[in-house]
Amino acid sequence: MSNYIKQLRFNQVEILDNDGAKRLDLTNQLVGADYFEDILSPCVTMTLDIVSSAPIFHGFPIRGGEKVIMDIDTASGNFLLEDEYAMYVNKVTGYTSDGSKEQFKLHLVSREGMTNETARCQKKYGKVPINQHVIDILRNDLRTTKFDETNIERTSNSYSFIGNQKKPFHILTWLCPKGIPTTGNSGTRGQEGKGVAGYLFYENRDGFNFRSIDRLVSETTSSGSTNVLASYSYSSATEYNNPDADFNIINYYLEHNVDLQKALRVGMYANKTYFYDLYSNTLSLYSYYLKNEIRGKLGSEDELTIPFGFEESPSRVLFRTSDRGTLDPNDSAEDSGRDNVDMAKSFSRYNLLFTQSLNMVVPCNVNLRAGGIIEAIFPAVSGSNPRLDEQQSGRYLIKELRHHFEGNQMVTALKLIRDSYGLTN
């Protein structure tokens, strides 16, 4: 059996009361644990399965908000959650007791997940690059240092707005489709715009991230990209019991593929957008064609292959007001770095990224991160002559991951997404 599946040691699993004065060791009561990340979730979560012959739930007691610190050794590395990365009890479910033992599930969330419920963005945020707003909100509203500024990707455009008493996570995700990355902005003003808008805000074990879809994808186009975290391969042979099978795919299935009707319904390939400019009292029409805008993709396909010329036929008509920011009479597209046509692009890029969704289970690897890239190699259907499936194989973006910690059952479940087919050279 792969060492990544069987090797596990709980060095420390402790729960501290809200005052920090009382602590309890849960190491011997912990049956299993699951850790979750998702690029569409602003914070990480975790669950612990507890079985104890001593009263913990009422004896400690556990009432919510308690701090949990963890130190777990696995074959792929150390999994450590302490200090500012510690988790906190959100709720308890499934409590049962037969008089000799009690069992329940602890649901944990990062501290910022709780702070978000009491914090509010109240001030007017001036016209500065959007990434500066993200850093400001993380530091001053969520009061966290769990981020590296290199993971808060710079935007080419500035934006002003009023917080309107919204929660920090609401504002941070609301800003994502407004940001335009600094990379790949080779377009011009007007019909072509300046770039493909679209960012993702999420938390993983490295802290908080504000990354553009273009950057996440384009970093994988060069051979040997450092952003590729691992390479996995699948074989129909029973290599599950092979000690050297640490990077074998245990099982996988394609959750969904191209949904052409849905793509046409949302106007992913081509759309027309009417913009009413409140500043100039004018109406503008922009025609958007996805095939002319996408520069970097996860797969090797150079073009979008759509039947019947649908990629040239606008399938959705939208009407929107121009979004130039708030309370800045001198604001203009030239000042903000954001044109009307840029606003029409972001939803197409988001939809394209989620074109393919693949679920996969591999031996537990705590070095994987949501938002990272892995390479998956699959065999082609070729009878007795095994060969590589060059269409299904390739690089995928990790949308979600779950690390399952349990003796001899250590696995990582992944939900992978990508926007095109084929191996990337």
**Per-position DSSP letters for 86-100, written without gaps between them:** -EEEEEEEEEEE-SS
- Compute the distance between CA of residue 151 and CA of residue 174 in angstroms, rounded to an integer: 18
Helix, strand, coil % in the chain, rounded to nearest 5: 20, 35, 45
- Compute the distance between CA of residue 170 and CA of residue 42 in angstroms, rounded to an integer: 9
Instruction: Please give the model's pTM, rounded to 2 decimal places.
Output: 0.89
- Compute the distance between CA of residue 423 and CA of residue 407 in angstroms, rounded to an integer: 35
pLDDT on residue 136: 97
Cβ contacts of residue 383 below 8 Å, gap of 6+? none
pLDDT on residue 193: 43
Type of residue numbered 389: D
Cβ contacts of residue 280 below 8 Å, gap of 6+? none
pLDDT on residue 222: 37
Query: Residue 160 is encoded by which pair of tokens?
Result: 């002003």
Could you tell me where the beta strands, DSSP code E, fall in 53-86? 67-74, 77-81
Query: Residue 373 is encoded by which pair of tokens?
Result: 């890239």
- Compute the distance between CA of residue 216 and CA of residue 149 in angstroms, rounded to an integer: 16
- Compute the distance between CA of residue 66 and CA of residue 90 in angstroms, rounded to an integer: 8
Q: Establish whether the linkage from the previous residue to 168 is cis, with ω within 30° of 0.
A: no
DSSP state of 181: B
- Compute the distance between CA of residue 25 and CA of residue 23 in angstroms, rounded to an integer: 7
Which helix (H) or strand (E) element contains residue 361? Answer: strand 356-363
Which helix (H) or strand (E) element contains residue 3? Answer: helix 3-6
User: What residue ranges of the chain have pLDDT lower than 70?
Assistant: 1, 183-196, 219-226, 236-244, 293-297, 299-307, 326-345, 383-384, 424-425
- Residue 410 bridge partners (DSSP): none
Q: Establish whether the linkage from the previous residue to 61 is cis, with ω within 30° of 0.
A: yes
- Compute the distance between CA of residue 301 and CA of residue 419 in angstroms, rounded to an integer: 10
